[in-house]
Structure 1
Amino acid sequence: MRVLIAEDDALLREGLSLLLAGEGCEVCAAVDNADDFLAAVAEHGPDVAVVDVRLPPDFRDEGLRAALEARRRVPALPVLVLSSYVEDRYAADLLADGRGGVGYLLKHRVGDLDHFMTELRRVAAGGTAMDPEVVAQLLVRRRADDPLRDLTEREREVLALMARGEANAEIAARLRVSDGAVNKHIRNVFAKLGLAPGDSGHRRVLAVLAYLGNRPDPG
């Protein structure tokens, strides 16, 4: 797996490079700003990019905007964004194109190498990976006009795990239910959110967007 890193902190950038190399990955480039990141995407064609949300010069959302621009230029490019804090709007921005292959993790997750590599490989394979702390905060930030108000408690649990990027089998194991039960709950979620099979985009991603409070108009 060829990985491109965009991280302004030299120690973390070098640490990520060493960790990834130790896991058999090829770090095709490691840069510290958005412009060099976009140039490296074009030059190296990585399998996945790991990008800090905040990059020079203003350290606000330059990394996120560069990641979105990279996915505009290379639609299939998987991107895992790292942040020091829970900023759930970034998760919604990443998912807004409905294509998958995106992730949003807090930086301290890098210290759990097994977890980090699992999430990175999930994103590289076209899946989604949302940080559990983002998901937990979303649970207490629902609006009065919550589009998920018709879901049962179990359906909300299943959707929360979907938002974290868990596959059906992983959800079944975590909730200690059968694969068939998980499939039924997911079908119910899709139906209650109006995500018919003919909807454009990936229904699983659209459901997670609804969970994040930023679902696009399917029409």
Structure 2
Amino acid sequence: MRVVIAEDSALLRKGITLLLQEAGHDVAAAVGDAELLLRAVAEHRPDIAVVDVRMPPTFRDEGLRAALLLRSEFPETAILVLSQYVEERYAAQLLAGDISGIGYLLKDRVADADDFLRILDQVTGGGTVFDQEVVAQILVRTRRQDPIQALTRRERDVLQLMAEGRSNGGIAGTLGVTPGAVEKYVTSIFAKFRLPPSENDHRRVLAVLRYLDG
């Protein structure tokens, strides 16, 4: 297969290059930053790009953002992210669309060279390989971002009845609790949805809209 490597560590970049060449693969380019990665893929149209997450100039998420761009512009090129870090936001975006030909491995959890080559073949062939730790962190991020997941079962019951147009008194009668208890549930829902008191917004309507959207 034809491969492009993007890794800012010269030593690791050379090591991956030699490993792939010894396995009979064609390393079309081995570069050290995201801009060169984009140019190399556009020029060589590789079967797969092996991409680090943190590269120059800021060493934050340039590699992963470049991988997302490649996924959009060159969907025929598989992407294998190989990094020490889990960048939750962009990793989640990789999982949001077509996940065939996508992989995300943590460097310190790659068992050996044979495993790496096997995974490379699998991803190039249209497979999907995500390290368990990567998936776990994405799921945690997703739960943090979805306030509905933070609601208790009773709060969800109250919110559902709110969505049906019930008043606090009507909700209390349906659930068999006091109006004061309903008021506490509603206040908790507002807090978890980050809906502070406002003269311009109807928090009850906004909470229902978020519930329906979720």
- Same fold by TM-score, threshold 0.5 exceeded? yes
Contact 1:38–1:70 (Cα < 8 Å) also in 2: yes
Q: Map 1:47-66 onto structure 2 (within 5 A).
A: 47-66=47-66
Query: 1:98/1:57 Cα in 2 relative to 1: closer, same or farther (>3 Å)?
Result: same
Question: 2:91: which partner in 1?
Answer: 91
Contact 1:53–1:82 (Cα < 8 Å) also in 2: yes
Question: 1:20: which partner in 2?
Answer: 20
**Greater helix content:** 2
Answer yes or no: is 1:45 the counterpart of 2:58: no
Secondary structure of 1:129's counterpart equals: strand
Question: 1:102: which partner in 2?
Answer: 102
Matched letter for residue 33 of structure 1: D
Q: CA deviation at 1:115?
A: 1.6
Question: 1:117: which partner in 2?
Answer: 117
**Which string of whole-angstrom CA distances, capped at 9 and with x for unpartnered residues, describes residues 172-194 of structure 1?**
xxxxxxxxxxxxxxxxxxxxxxx
Query: C-alpha separation between the residues in 1 aligned to 2:116 and 2:25?
Result: 13
By relative contact order (CA 8 Å, sep 6+), the higher-ranking structure is 1
Identity of aligned residues (%): 61
Q: Which 5+ residue runs of structure 2 have no aligned equivalent?
A: 150-212
Query: 1:49/1:142 Cα in 2 relative to 1: closer, same or farther (>3 Å)?
Result: closer
Secondary structure of 2:94's counterpart equals: helix
**Which string of whole-angstrom CA distances, capped at 9 and with x for unpartnered residues, describes residues 51-91 of structure 1?**
00111000111001111111211122100011212334333
Query: C-alpha separation between the residues in 2 aligned to 1:6 and 1:111?
Result: 21
Aligned residue pairs, count: 147
Matched letter for residue 105 of structure 1: L
Contact 1:91–1:130 (Cα < 8 Å) also in 2: no
**Which string of whole-angstrom CA distances, capped at 9 and with x for unpartnered residues, describes residues 94-151 of structure 1?**
12222421111011245511221121111101111101222355677773845xxxxx
TM-score, with structure 2 as normaliser: 0.62
Question: 1:130: which partner in 2?
Answer: 130
Query: C-alpha separation between the residues in 2 aligned to 1:49 and 1:26?
Result: 12
Q: CA deviation at 1:26?
A: 1.1
Query: C-alpha separation between the residues in 1 aligned to 2:14 and 2:45?
Result: 20
Q: Which 5+ residue runs of structure 1 have no aligned equivalent?
A: 147-216
Secondary structure of 1:79's counterpart equals: strand
Secondary structure of 1:98's counterpart equals: coil
Query: 1:140/1:32 Cα in 2 relative to 1: closer, same or farther (>3 Å)?
Result: closer
Secondary structure of 1:100's counterpart equals: coil
Matched letter for residue 11 of structure 1: L
Query: C-alpha separation between the residues in 1 aligned to 2:110 and 2:3?
Result: 15
Question: 1:192: which partner in 2?
Answer: none
Matched letter for residue 91 of structure 1: A
CA RMSD of aligned residues (A): 2.2
Secondary structure of 1:135's counterpart equals: helix
Runs of 4+ in 1 over 4 A off after TM superposition: 136-142
**Which string of whole-angstrom CA distances, capped at 9 and with x for unpartnered residues, describes residues 192-213 of structure 1?**
xxxxxxxxxxxxxxxxxxxxxx
Query: C-alpha separation between the residues in 2 aligned to 1:136 and 1:118?
Result: 23
Matched letter for residue 9 of structure 2: D
Query: C-alpha separation between the residues in 1 aligned to 2:138 and 2:7?
Result: 26
Contact 2:53–2:85 (Cα < 8 Å) also in 1: no
